[in-house]
Amino acid sequence: MTTKPAVVTRFAPSPTGHLHVGGARSALFCWAYARKHGGHFTLRIEDTDQARSSDESARGIMEDLAWLGIDWDEGPEFVHEGKKIGGDPQGVGPFFQARRVALYNKYLMQLIEQGRAYPAFESSEELEAKRKAAVAAKQTYRYDRASYHAYPTPEARLARMKEADAKGETYPIRFYAPAEEVVVQDEVLGDVKYAAGEMDDFVIRKADGFPTYHFAVVVDDETMGVTHVMRAQEHLNNTPRHVALQKALGFRTPVYAHMPLICNMDASKMSKRDKAKVARKTLKEAMAKDKALSAAGVGAAIGVATKELEDFIAAENDSLVTAQKLGAYFKIALPEIEVCDFRENGYLPGAINNFLALLGWNPGMKLADGKDLEKFDTKFLAEHFAIDRIGKTSAKFDRVKLLSFNGDAINGMSDEEFARVWREFCSHAEPRLVERVPEGQRWLWLAKAIKPRAKTLRDGIKPAGLFMMGDDAVEFDAGAVEKNLKAEGGKGMEMLREVLVRLQGLAEWTPGAIHGALELMAKERGLVNDKGAVNVGPVAAPVRVAVSGSGVTPPLGETLAALGREGVMKRVERCLAVNG
């Protein structure tokens, strides 16, 4: 065990899906704050909602955090690229809430013995009837503490619980809320108050024996030594409950800082549902245009039950699976919302972190030209992050800006670095490319040609399409053949024949040598542009058609070098044979 760190922050995701960008921003800020103050950053998995939680999702969240470089000092142990993350240096684990039930029960007992918590035995029908009666009487419903009064002492409650446990009767446990005002000092938003008597006796342990979020979070923040809680603003209204529980249990109150919402550019809240929204809109528009299109028909085509798809159309469910199937069916890109979406589409962790850091925070520094300093890495963030620069107003998720950050990050890489990162990406996203172009010099040439054409790693795949074709399977575009090979009495074909000979005779197969050979040929043929410079275009165009089937390729020297001499020869010979 090490000595207690002076600063402990935590990220506490519920493993019910992928890591959302909002969650990633919370984690990043907590990480940066801990790093800045030489403290610890803790990862805690809040899996008390057993029906919705999964280990797979917890693993996915850890994988995405690790990929972003947000490493945790305390939390589940995880190995990423050979590096171990997490552990339990303070001996405060386990870090999955479902494994901490005994600890929660210990504090529950304390509250029951103090008279601050009690079992409640009403059926849900009884509670619902009381709620309806309150609504009918135009009153705010609040649990009436009937069970508290029915068993008026801690002893009576404990005896009743024992009896219920023996019979297998289940019941929730409620917190006896304080009568006085509860004030939370939030570092971002100022004081947040719950007026005296406003707090209800909320449930702290559910009938299934698991604590509610409110209770588990309070026990864990205390027992894990958390000093600073930075989380999404949607939890702000929960905080007075947490403070009330801390007071009842004799716990410290950590520093709270609630972060602004992240919105789409149209000011709507950015949420996982945005994918369903886009898919639904596309389907509805298609159905409006084509009357033959029915929910049953589309459902059958994508493997979704008719009723389920009808509900989806009626916005009664926002199924991600249905949205994704519709996206594939209509060939539309659904908005990227979760970290894995950006990762799959070839965004770089550095660019994402930089962009996320600016959602509701900025370093408040100027560049020499007077513009705001916006480009920085996580090391800079860890040195400069401060809570007092977190904004109050919602942050806009500007996808254009993120794409430009990513493009700049790619541009800023050396060719070697890009080659490595892009190969790793392609090995998942387009394995054929990696199989066709060997690692080493040839891959490096290809990467060099692609880098200026890619704002994301995925962007680079399309221009490299010709590498995925077999040398004997290039499909020639009729228009390109006509224009670049057959026009003017087959001028292009004739050039191509000469190119073949010149390339066959090349001593060295490098981009420079290939380009030099094509340039020399243009020069010898007296091909010049209007400025009098050698014009390789008429020589290059037929070669482009021969190797790609179309008139467009990345720079030819690198492209041919990366394709390899043998492949180029085969393609040119076949082109001459097929189109001759």
Residue 90 tokens, joined: 């303070």
Shortest Cβ distance from residue 144 to ligand GLU (Å)?
29
Q: What share of the chain is helix, strand, coil (3-state, %, to 5)?
A: 55, 10, 35
Q: Tell me the two tokens of residue 205.
A: 């342990």
State in angstroms the smallest separation of the CB of 38 from ligand GLU: 22
Of 492, 487, 430, the closest CA to residue 463 belongs to 430
Identity at 273, one-letter amino acid code? R
Minimum separation from the CB atom of position 265 to ligand GLU (A): 24
Least distance to ligand GLU, CB of residue 263, Å: 18
| 12 contributes a contact to ligand GLU by CB under 6 A | yes
Find the shortest distance in angstroms from Cβ 70 to ligand GLU. Answer: 15
For ligand GLU, give the closer residue by CB, 205 or 231.
Answer: 231
Rounded to a whole number of angstroms, the minimum distance from the CB of residue 99 to ligand GLU is 16
Applying CB under 6 A, which part among 6-14, 55-63, 278-286, 356-364 lies near ligand GLU? 6-14
- Paired tokens of 324: 């994704």
Distance CA 353, CA 127 (A): 47
The distance of closest approach from Cβ of residue 456 to ligand GLU in the complex, given in angstroms and rounded to an integer, is 28
Judged by beta carbon, residue 22 or residue 327, the one nearer ligand GLU is 22
**Interaction with ligand GLU in 198-237: which residues (CB under 6 A)?**
217, 231, 235
Measure the CA–CA gap between 519 and 230, rounded to whole angstroms.
61
CA–CA separation, 144 and 509 (whole Å): 85
For residue 111, give every residue at least 6 positions away whose Cβ sits within 8 Å of its Cβ, in sequence order, or none: 117, 175, 204, 248, 249
The verdict on 559 binding ligand GLU (CB under 6 A) reads no
Nearer to ligand GLU, 42 or 406 (CB): 42
In sequence order, the β-bridge partners of residue 534 are 528
What are residue 103's phi and psi, to 5 degrees?
A: -65, -45
Say whether residue 511 binds ligand GLU (CB under 6 A). Answer: no
Window contacting ligand GLU (CB under 6 A); options: 12-20, 151-159, 378-386, 509-517: 12-20
CB of 419 within 8 A of CB of 449? no
CA angle 385, 390, 395 (to 5 degrees): 120
- Looking at beta carbons only, is 22 or 349 nearer to ligand GLU? 22
Give me the least distance between CB of 351 and ligand GLU, in Å please.
Answer: 25
Interface region with ligand GLU, contact rule CB under 6 A, candidates 10-18, 88-96, 395-403, 469-477: 10-18
Count of residues that interact with ligand GLU, criterion CB under 6 A: 7
Q: Does 92 bind ligand GLU (CB under 6 A)?
A: no
Q: How far is CA 397 from CA 19, 193, 372, 543, in A?
A: 16, 30, 18, 44
**Cis omega (within 30 of 0) on the bond before 542?**
no
- Least distance from C-beta 64 to ligand GLU, angstroms? 14
Q: Confirm if 248 and 111 have CB atoms less than 8 A apart.
A: yes
- Indicate the residue among 14 and 147 with the shorter CB distance to ligand GLU: 14
Q: In what order do the strands lie in the sheet with 203-205?
A: 117-119, 173-175, 203-205
**Which is closer to ligand GLU, CB of 30 or CB of 173?**
30
Of 5, 8, 13, 157, the one binding ligand GLU by CB under 6 A:
13
14 binds ligand GLU (CB under 6 A): yes
Comparing CB distances to ligand GLU, the nearer of 339 and 447 is 339
Residue 319: how many other CB atoms lie within 10 Å: 17
| N residues, the chain | 580
Q: In this complex, which beta carbon is closest to ligand GLU, that of residue 12 or of residue 24? A: 12
Say if residue 166 is exposed, middle or buried (CB neighbours under 10 Å; 0-12, 13-18, 19+). Answer: exposed
Residue 216 or residue 454: which is nearer to ligand GLU going by CB? 216
Between 247 and 491, name the residue whose CB sits nearer to ligand GLU. 247
Q: Which is nearer to ligand GLU, 216 or 500 (CB)?
A: 216
Torsion (CA) 350, 356, 362, 365 in degrees, nearest 10? 20
Under the binding rule (CB under 6 A), the answer on residue 272 touching ligand GLU is: no
* Closer of 231 and 455 to ligand GLU (Cβ): 231
From the CB of 237, what's the least distance to ligand GLU, in Å?
A: 12
Residue 216: CB minimum distance to ligand GLU, A: 9
Q: How far is the CB of 98 from ligand GLU (least distance, A)?
A: 13
* Range in contact with ligand GLU (rule: CB under 6 A) among 9-17, 113-121, 394-402, 424-432: 9-17
- 46 contacts ligand GLU (rule: CB under 6 A): yes
Tell me which DSSP letter residue 390 carries. B
Binding segment for ligand GLU (CB under 6 A), chosen from 7-15, 74-82, 343-351, 550-558, is 7-15
- The residues, ordered by sequence, that sit 6+ positions from 528 with a Cβ below 8 Å of its Cβ are 534, 535
Task: Give 410's contacts (C-beta < 8 A, 6+ positions apart).
Answer: 348, 418, 451, 454, 455, 456, 457
Taking the complex as a whole, the smallest distance from the CB of residue 284 to ligand GLU amounts, in Å, to 31
The distance of closest approach from Cβ of residue 318 to ligand GLU in the complex, given in angstroms and rounded to an integer, is: 18
Number of neighbouring beta carbons within 10 Å of residue 268: 11
**74 and 86 Cβ atoms separated by less than 8 Å:** yes
User: How many helices (H) and strands (E) in the chain?
Assistant: 25, 13
Q: For the CB of residue 101, give the shortest distance to ligand GLU in the complex, in Å.
A: 16
Q: Which is nearer to ligand GLU, 103 or 313 (CB)?
A: 103
- Residue 467 and residue 433 in contact, taking contact as beta carbons nearer than 8 Å: yes
Q: Is 406 in the site for ligand GLU (CB under 6 A)?
A: no
The CB density around residue 574, as the number of other CB atoms within 10 Å, is: 16
SS3 119: strand
Which residue stretch of 8-16, 50-58, 418-426, 451-459 sits at the interface with ligand GLU (rule: CB under 6 A)?
A: 8-16
Chain centroid offset of residue 466 CA: 31
Closer to ligand GLU by Cβ: residue 203 or 217: 217
HEC-encoded secondary structure of 416-427:
HHHHHHHHHHHH
14 vs 90 by CB, closer to ligand GLU: 14
Give the binding site for ligand GLU (CB under 6 A).
Answer: 12-14, 46, 217, 231, 235
